[in-house]
Amino acid sequence: MNTRHPTPSRIPPAVPRARGNAGVLLALLALLLPPTARAFTATDASTNEPYATQATWNLGDNGGTGFGEWRQVGSSATPNRSLDADGFAIYANAGVGEAAVGRSFADDLALASGTFSVTATHDSTTHFSGFALYSANDAELLRWGVTTAEADAGTYPGFWYAIGAGGQTIYEPIDRIYDPDTPVTADYSISWSVFSTGMNIDLSITSDSSPITRQLSLDNSSAVTSIAALVAGSTQAETLHFDNISAEGPAVPEPATIALLLLGTLVLRPRRGK
């Protein structure tokens, strides 16, 4: 009796293999490091450590999360510092030039887009007290705050901004302050977005008056690397109080990570049959 044997099934095509162990490793890394942006957040307040224990704050302190340590920013002098009921305080005596202290983002991160927020009280409106955004090498991109400066309507205190300030500070008015003898308290929020040939800025100021918004455009297309508080003494001392600083934005993957992903993809491509 003849026994029929089942017809062998067709052998499935060979599964393409990675080109060596390096390909497998790169594939695993590619899975673990997807090329997507991660959210970045940085916050700090005067009630955090180490300030609460020290009852002051110093250059080199690093409270909160997401920021680097406090440091002197740019070529400005280091301002006098203290803590009080309104939070951090910096001040410059009469006749003192600009003095600035600030924070870089942790891991030397540069944000092409993001938002920075802070609450501030300006004790004086004689010269300038406010905040600034900086790019790499502490190049100032924009400053804003309260000052007395020349305008078409004459000299008056108010909210002003200056683009690419540094040694050539040309202030532009935002809104008038009608009682220069009263400290000015304001919540600031500034958002930026860098494109190929410049930067768009949205500045929001909430004070005793109605909220103010101003849209600005900068020719500079540099990403933001640090923020700072700064004061300048003129005929009298200038003091700025501020607290509850925060910054957020997307952090773009490092070029090395992107290159690794591309390399892993190429190594795992199946060979063409001959």
The DSSP-derived string for 88-124 is: EEEEE-TT--EEEEEEEBGGG--BSEEEEEEEEEES-
* 219's tokens: 């020719």
Q: What CA–CA distance (Å, rounded) separates 52 from 260?
A: 44
The band of 74, judged by pLDDT with boundaries at 50, 70 and 90, is: confident
Q: With respect to residue 10, please indicate whether it lies within any of the assigned structural domains.
A: no
Question: Does residue 60 share a domain with residue 24?
Answer: no
Match 């009263």 to its residue by tokens: 182
Mean pLDDT of 97-115: 92
Question: Does residue 273 share a domain with residue 190?
Answer: no
Question: Does residue 238 share a domain with residue 104?
Answer: yes
Mean pLDDT of 89-112: 87
Question: Does residue 182 share a domain with residue 64?
Answer: yes
Q: What CA–CA distance (Å, rounded) separates 205 from 190?
A: 9
Q: With respect to residue 2, please indicate whether it lies within any of the assigned structural domains.
A: no
Q: With respect to residue 8, please indicate whether it lies within any of the assigned structural domains.
A: no
Q: With respect to residue 12, please indicate whether it lies within any of the assigned structural domains.
A: no
Beta bridge mates, 121: 185, 241
Q: How many domains does the chain have?
A: 2
Which of 21-25, 41-45, 135-139, 187-191 shows the lowest mean pLDDT across its residues? 21-25
Question: Does residue 114 share a domain with residue 56?
Answer: yes
Question: Does residue 83 share a domain with residue 99?
Answer: yes
| Spatial contact of 105 and 250, defined as CB atoms under 8 Å apart | no
Question: Does residue 272 share a domain with residue 136?
Answer: no
Question: Does residue 272 share a domain with residue 170?
Answer: no
CA distances from 53 to 71, 91, 118, 215 (A): 20, 22, 23, 40
Q: With respect to residue 80, please indicate whether it lies within any of the assigned structural domains.
A: yes
Percent of the chain clearing pLDDT 90 (strictly above): 45
Question: Does residue 209 share a domain with residue 76?
Answer: yes
Domain of 270, in residue numbers: 18-36+253-274
Task: CATH number of the domain at 77, please.
Answer: 2.60.120
**The pLDDT of residue 265:** 47
Give the closest residue to 82 by CA, choosing from 273, 248, 270, 239.
239
Question: Does residue 29 share a domain with residue 43?
Answer: no
Q: What CA–CA distance (Å, rounded) separates 42 from 193?
A: 18
Question: Does residue 94 share a domain with residue 28?
Answer: no
Q: With respect to residue 230, please indicate whether it lies within any of the assigned structural domains.
A: yes
Q: With respect to residue 6, please indicate whether it lies within any of the assigned structural domains.
A: no
Q: With respect to residue 3, please indicate whether it lies within any of the assigned structural domains.
A: no
Question: Does residue 240 share a domain with residue 266?
Answer: no
Mean pLDDT of 80-85: 89
* 233's tokens: 């003494």
| Spatial contact of 233 and 93, defined as CB atoms under 8 Å apart | yes
